[in-house]
Structure 1
Amino acid sequence: MVSSPFSITTASGAGQFDPSLLAPVLAPLDSLPGVSTARAKLFSRIAGGNRVLDLLFCLPESITDRRARPLIADLKQDSIATVTGIVRGIRPPAPRTRQPWRVTLEDTTGTLELAFFSKWQAQNVVEGESLIVSGKVERFHERLTMTSPDYLLPARSADRIPLLDPVWPLTAGLFTGQVRQAMTAALARLPTTLPEWHTPTLLERRRWPDFTTALHWMHFPATIPDSEQGDAWRGEQTRAHARLACDELLADQLATRIAQRAARSRPGRSITGDGHLQQQALTAFGHTPTPGQKKALRDIEADMAAPYRMSRLLQGDVGAGKTLVALLAMLRAAESGAQAALMAPTEILARQHAKTFERLSPVPVAYLSSAVKGKARKQTLQAIAEGTTPLVVGTHALVQDAVQFADLALAVIDEQHRFGVEQRLALVEKGHDADMLVMTATPIPRTLLLTRFGDMQTSRLEGKPAGRKPVHTSLHSIGAMDEVLSGLRRALAKGAQIFWVCPLVSESEALDVAAAEARHAELTAYFGPIAGLAHGQQDSAVRQEALEAFAQGETRLLVATTVIEVGVDIPTATIMVIEHAERFGLAQLHQLRGRVGRGAEASYCLMLHDDGLGQTARRRLTCLKETEDGFLIADEDFRLRGGGDVTGRRQSGLPDYRMSSELLVDMLLDAAHDEAKRILPDTAPLTDPTLPLSAEVLLSLFNKTDAARIFTGG
């Protein structure tokens, strides 16, 4: 039995939903006939889970059409065909060669050569026997040939070859026949009728089948009516796929709404203040906050003053001023007599925040990272525990057991996509009913806002603080390197400071570092000893020293990997060179470009690209050249690359949907969002809402009954 943790009352009556009708498909994979514990582990690799239903959600990658049953004389090269004939010759390969066995198959119109590299398969063929084979027809030495047929059976067993043959994903040790057997058994466990969660109007308008039928049609399209001829079955299967994708999105959206409401119903603490600390910080800042900053701060302060815990996302473009908003929110917590902590993913970014806070804050600021050791660490931990430092800035070191706060009221997580859910929760849980503010400088497309952050209130900073100038972006072929270097030499002669970002080589950071070191040596040979080097494998103190030397003007050129993507604020740097820009994600390029244009001088970004730049890559880079609006760039990045790369080459975007491709998400998300609001309207009570039985079934099917805590972690 699987129970719901939501304590939700179903519309059909009081009490928890009894999922007994789903028990057969919620059972473990090894409950299927012929699936041992060892084989279940193989199935779980392709299923992405251990339930029978997880296997059913592993849809075929394609469908092979084997309905064509031509005579041999009518065979066409490079086609899939199913042929019946009589074996007229068997020729084994010459000794000690890698040649295949060759079998001649004949019908009344001609002959087809079969090639087998499997001795076992070839030796099961008997001359004079009537066979049926199915596979791809090719031409080899002017002869029609079928190499290693997908099916080879006695002609009397022709009905064992599927007319529309599903191609499921496989893993080592797992074969198509085993998957087909397991899928057949799993489909047989589906209830013939389930309560319908979609409205009749939606189903009729989109011509969608019911949930159970949709799964049958996806795995075995030959069960679709009139599939023996024509292509009408493809339209039916497309509609079945759309229905299942919408179900998956709806379950996600519904769980998100439940989580959001659960977060708003959690008892919190009212954090208020008179603004005196904030005003002192603004005086030190010396500028008036932008309208966007003021609005974001009002939203945050309203949440902090409310009697429930805040869970808010602050998203803003590069240089939009999120750090100031975070500081003012943290000072509001300090005004109430409590503490606030900001956690950043890298030491560079954490140090930059600490440096800014120390310059502006009228109250003490503590800094903690793995680089803080010995007596300094002990003193910092003591100050945090005693509450003598109202503001704390650090890396993930803040979530270590040794860190105890006197009274943490606000947890701020910067560049939240770089932290796991558990790390974010670990910081929040160090406080008593602490509020949570997560920030990102990677603009998030609306699609991702709904799918990944739908449970959170959102503030969006637009525009840049006064004084920021646009960055002039240009594209240059690697083949024009000599011209680029000559231009940089002229800029250096005029006093410019330059970032040079080396390309991503592979998933190996060691190779990226090697590329940076090689480029540093080449540029030092060209420009002289004016270049520094910063990368992720350096000791943090060495890396920080390189950054400080560049900030102080002791070096004029900084060669780096993407370690400088966030947290580097050097207003005197005015030129950014990105080598092999086509290897980076658009959002990451935008972040890197944001390292310049932070001062009063005009700034430039030179994106060097491969000589043979493809059409899609050129389109991506042209987008960056034509706009500095990070939100437009994020939408283009999502559309061109897909959600999985929206935050850069090594980050993830969309949730791990099983049946919803990027295109289907784009097409169906609004419908799923509207359906979720219909099922759980805004007017429903925050706690113990009444859900229809069908919605409970949907959440159980998609394993979303335990989503509230995870979603609330951001």
Structure 2
Amino acid sequence: MRPAVLDPLFSTVASLPGVGPKLADLIARVTGREDADDCRVVDLLFHAPSSLIDRRNRPGIALAPQGAIVTIEGRVDRHQPSPPGKSNMPYRVFLQDDTGELALTFFRAKGNWLEKVLPIDETVMVSGKVDWFNGRPSMVHPDFIVKASEAANLPLVEPVYPMTAGLSPKVLRKAIDGAVARLPILPEWILASLTDKQGFASVAESFRRLHDPRDEADLDPQSPARRRLAYDEFLAGQVSLALVRQRLRKVPGRPVRATGELAERIGAALPFALTGSQQAAIADILKDLAGEDRMLRLLQGDVGAGKTLVALMAMAAAVESGGQAVLMAPTEILARQHHATISKLASTVGISVEVLTGRTKGRERDAIAERIASGEAQIIIGTHALFQDAVNYRNLVLAVVDEQHRFGVHQRLRLTAKGISPHMLVMTATPIPRTLVLAAFGDMDVSKLTEKPVGRKPIQTVTVPTERTGEIVSRLRSALDEGKKAYWICPLVEESEVSDLMSAEERFAVLAKEFGGKVGVVHGRMNGAEKDAVMAAFKNGEIRLLVATTVVEVGVDVPDASIMVIEHAERFGLAQLHQLRGRVGRGEEASTCILLYKGPLSETGHARLSILRDSEDGFLIAEEDLKLRGEGELLGTRQSGTPGFRIASLEAHADLLEIARKDATYLLERDPDLTGERGNNVRALLYLFRRDEAVRFLGAG
């Protein structure tokens, strides 16, 4: 049960004064929640300001700099209404001080309202942006107008929040003030020795300071309020991970004793030798599997480093000891592709492989479910359909999860809740820096594949401004005529009014005019069957140019594709660009990756594209990406089950993450069920940060 003290923070945002259904939807969007029902008062507290408007600059009218936000005190001299019948002309009110005259300009304003707010001869204070035109200053729609006698009501320092279309800053600010007013006195879950040492204020006080910054220093990630809340966020995350870990450890592992005969036979059937790091990773995994504790290992390998093969060797060991293994992929395309690769190798040694996804229906699904329940199916590959209630395993010993960052703690809990407690091997092609491994996965054991398989050629990467797109198209024409295959990646699916990015649909239409039937398109709005059909046509050469959104980012394997064009490359994360680039360079041929960018680039934009141009080392790229962009984007969006932190930042607060990890371990060693005084307070912390799943875990015995 959530502690009653938190109830005011978990009412829906619609319960705040002045927030109706439409506004609640906009607030849900800006705070990253699914919908208005899922959006609570607490979500507004976590919506931190990103910058400040400082209204303390009062230079006088004549000295107001162009484009600056200033506050002016002056006397209302005269009104100049729009001419009759010309409502599109502005209404002006002229204000004077000792230095000069300022025109306050209003469009479509009601004259009687302006006469009331700005009566002639009244001394008023106005604040807003000043524009100079032909030597005369004007302020269009001032942000604030107050009588000089009420100057105390003018907010001099105003926080600026991340916004969404349709939401006005004033309305959002009012809702946030409403949320802050509901802050209860919360129990203290941090040890007194740490609050003293770090100079932390209470939680409630820290939230108040977060939303009432006095100057730029208060916005700094190192400000006391932000550090306090960052620590709370890390502590909630680390306690959740430790609880999962504790629960997983309680269920003893089933030692997998394999002779290694199947793995040896698969190895013999391969046309190449395993790399040193593949052999080392397999040895680590087999050692873990043979132990009494359940394995929980992260296998990091750069794009194309051969993770799937390592996973297959682990699954062969599970089958050899009489068990079953599953491989879960994030998308349908990838699951079917893994099935194609793995079944080819597994069939040489007589292992039966099934594939099960959300698209498997009716009789076919029932037949597969039966083979899984009887144990006839030895390796089962699929999407999260593998863990639905209707699927029962005879003897599941190993679960391999591909692309962990799409498979969060929640899914791990669901697996364990089914009473299934297999060994777990998690594979990711996103080389994750150590701090991020800690934040996302707790203390998992990690194996890294650092070498590229033999025969992989380097990929030449070039950056080209979008103005030269025409040249790229003509170079593509000659490449396609020579029988080559190419990808063209776009950031969006369809054109939206607010964006000038090229959508996949639109780019496809343009390229289809150039190349006719040689072009296909794949994006997230298509259903699975449509995507598969296009991918198959690309694979077997009916289509030579594939226009796609990032659905091809993860694991799509077309070995003879040798050209990758990425449009609006400045819009993608470095790690994501590196993933996309890894779709080419998988065959015999030398490959090229062309990064099309729209200038002018920021300094960071330049730095990012040049890191990618100069390096093919995914681990180095990921470290640089973390420095340049922050972890929220490194692993995709917040929704993807990764730590999309709301206050904490791994670059700014890495020291706190380390302390939080030790603190979580210390706490759970002394109070594993969180029933002591501090334990109960930490339960409140878990609820505050919406880590309810972890709390339910405590109740699960």
TM-score by length of 2: 0.80
Query: Aligned equivalents of 1:491 and 1:126: distance in 2?
Result: 72
2:270 corresponds to 1:285: yes
1:609 to 581, 584, 596: 596
Q: How does 1:7-26 map to 2 (within 5 A)?
A: 20=5, 25=9
Unaligned runs of 5+ in 2: 496-501
Offset at residue 411 of structure 1 (A): 2.2
Greater relative contact order, per chain length (Cα 8 Å cut-off, separation 6+): 1
2:114 corresponds to 1:122: yes
Which is higher, the Rg of structure 1 or of structure 2?
A: 1
* 1:646 alignment partner in structure 2: 634
Offset at residue 441 of structure 1 (A): 1.9
Query: Aligned equivalents of 2:57 and 2:405: distance in 1?
Result: 50
Q: Are the counterparts in 2 of residues 644 and 652 from structure 1 also a CA contact under 8 Å?
A: no
1:149 to 142, 145, 154: 142
Q: Are the counterparts in 1 of residues 12 and 39 from structure 2 also a CA contact under 8 Å?
A: yes
Offset at residue 695 of structure 1 (A): 4.5
* 2:540 alignment partner in structure 1: 549
2:103 corresponds to 1:113: yes
Offset at residue 130 of structure 1 (A): 3.1
Q: Are the counterparts in 2 of residues 218 and 240 from structure 1 also a CA contact under 8 Å?
A: yes
Bigger drift between 361-370 and 540-549 goes to 540-549
SS of the residue corresponding to residue 684 of structure 1 reads helix
Distance 1:708 1:313, change over 3 A: farther
C-alpha distance after superposition, 1:595-619 (max 9, x if no partner): 44445x4522242535857365554
Distance 1:323 1:429, change over 3 A: farther
Q: Are the counterparts in 2 of residues 69 and 82 from structure 1 also a CA contact under 8 Å?
A: yes
Q: Counterpart of 1:2 in structure 2: which amino acid?
A: R
2:352 corresponds to 1:364: yes
Q: Are the counterparts in 2 of residues 259 and 709 from structure 1 also a CA contact under 8 Å?
A: no
Query: Aligned equivalents of 1:28 and 1:484: distance in 2?
Result: 51
Distance 1:623 1:595, change over 3 A: same
* 1:315 alignment partner in structure 2: 300
SS of the residue corresponding to residue 650 of structure 2 reads helix
* 1:58 alignment partner in structure 2: 47
Offset at residue 317 of structure 1 (A): 0.9
Bigger drift between 582-591 and 36-45 goes to 36-45
Unaligned runs of 5+ in 1: 4-18
Distance 1:443 1:183, change over 3 A: same
1:440 to 428, 449, 468: 428
SS of the residue corresponding to residue 666 of structure 2 reads coil
1:501 to 487, 491, 502: 487
Q: Are the counterparts in 1 of residues 93 and 105 from structure 2 also a CA contact under 8 Å?
A: yes
* 2:620 alignment partner in structure 1: 632
SS of the residue corresponding to residue 506 of structure 1 reads coil
Query: Aligned equivalents of 2:191 and 2:307: distance in 1?
Result: 41
SS of the residue corresponding to residue 85 of structure 1 reads strand
Q: Are the counterparts in 1 of residues 281 and 448 from structure 2 also a CA contact under 8 Å?
A: yes
Query: Aligned equivalents of 1:123 and 1:708: distance in 2?
Result: 59
Offset at residue 414 of structure 1 (A): 1.9
Q: Counterpart of 2:340 in structure 1: which amino acid?
A: K
* 1:8 alignment partner in structure 2: none
Q: How does 1:324-363 map to 2 (within 5 A)?
A: 324-361=309-346, 362=349, 363=351
Q: Are the counterparts in 2 of residues 209 and 243 from structure 1 also a CA contact under 8 Å?
A: yes
Q: Are the counterparts in 2 of residues 534 and 546 from structure 1 also a CA contact under 8 Å?
A: no
Q: Are the counterparts in 2 of residues 409 and 431 from structure 1 also a CA contact under 8 Å?
A: no
Query: Aligned equivalents of 2:403 and 2:443: distance in 1?
Result: 18
Query: Aligned equivalents of 2:59 and 2:608: distance in 1?
Result: 47
Offset at residue 625 of structure 1 (A): 3.0
Bigger drift between 361-370 and 29-38 goes to 29-38
Q: Are the counterparts in 1 of residues 104 and 139 from structure 2 also a CA contact under 8 Å?
A: yes
Q: Counterpart of 1:575 in structure 2: which amino acid?
A: S
Q: Are the counterparts in 2 of residues 413 and 424 from structure 1 also a CA contact under 8 Å?
A: no
2:180 to 167, 182, 186: 186
Identity over the aligned pairs, expressed in percent? Answer: 39
Distance 1:312 1:115, change over 3 A: same
* 1:12 alignment partner in structure 2: none
Offset at residue 233 of structure 1 (A): 7.1
Q: Are the counterparts in 2 of residues 365 and 392 from structure 1 also a CA contact under 8 Å?
A: yes
SS of the residue corresponding to residue 398 of structure 2 reads strand
Offset at residue 634 of structure 1 (A): 2.1
Offset at residue 94 of structure 1 (A): 0.8
Query: Aligned equivalents of 1:260 and 1:253: distance in 2?
Result: 10
Q: Counterpart of 1:444 in structure 2: which amino acid?
A: I
Q: How many residues align?
A: 669
Offset at residue 269 of structure 1 (A): 3.3
SS of the residue corresponding to residue 421 of structure 2 reads coil
* 1:470 alignment partner in structure 2: 458
C-alpha distance after superposition, 1:101-132 (max 9, x if no partner): 22233345544332233315403132233323
2:123 corresponds to 1:134: no
Q: How does 1:533-682 map to 2 (within 5 A)?
A: 533=520, 535-536=522-523, 537=526, 539=530, 542-543=533-534, 545-550=536-541, 557-561=544-548, 564-569=552-557, 571=559, 573=560, 575-580=562-567, 582=569, 584-599=572-587, 601=588, 603-607=590-594, 609-610=596-597, 614=601, 616-647=604-635, 655-660=643-648, 664-681=649-666
2:200 corresponds to 1:215: no
Q: Are the counterparts in 2 of residues 46 and 55 from structure 1 also a CA contact under 8 Å?
A: no
Distance 1:439 1:156, change over 3 A: same
SS of the residue corresponding to residue 413 of structure 1 reads strand
SS of the residue corresponding to residue 289 of structure 1 reads coil
C-alpha distance after superposition, 1:245-286 (max 9, x if no partner): 343333323433333333323444333333333233223236
Query: Aligned equivalents of 2:622 and 2:221: distance in 1?
Result: 34
Distance 1:428 1:460, change over 3 A: farther
Query: Aligned equivalents of 1:236 and 1:533: distance in 2?
Result: 46
Query: Aligned equivalents of 1:104 and 1:482: distance in 2?
Result: 55
Distance 1:585 1:122, change over 3 A: same
C-alpha distance after superposition, 1:126-149 (max 9, x if no partner): 223332323333334533333322
Query: Aligned equivalents of 2:657 and 2:461: distance in 1?
Result: 39
2:505 corresponds to 1:519: no
Query: Aligned equivalents of 2:171 and 2:556: distance in 1?
Result: 56
Query: Aligned equivalents of 2:642 and 2:536: distance in 1?
Result: 37
Distance 1:650 1:132, change over 3 A: closer
C-alpha distance after superposition, 1:284-343 (max 9, x if no partner): 236553332233234333443445544432221122221122112212221222211222
Q: Are the counterparts in 1 of residues 430 and 579 from structure 2 also a CA contact under 8 Å?
A: yes
Bigger drift between 342-351 and 357-366 goes to 342-351
Query: Aligned equivalents of 2:431 and 2:222: distance in 1?
Result: 36
Q: Are the counterparts in 2 of residues 343 and 414 from structure 1 also a CA contact under 8 Å?
A: yes
TM-score by length of 1: 0.79
Query: Aligned equivalents of 1:234 and 1:355: distance in 2?
Result: 51
2:88 corresponds to 1:101: no
Q: Counterpart of 1:277 in structure 2: which amino acid?
A: L
Q: Are the counterparts in 2 of residues 680 and 691 from structure 1 also a CA contact under 8 Å?
A: no
Q: How does 1:144-183 map to 2 (within 5 A)?
A: 144-168=137-161, 172=166, 176=170, 179-180=173-174, 183=177
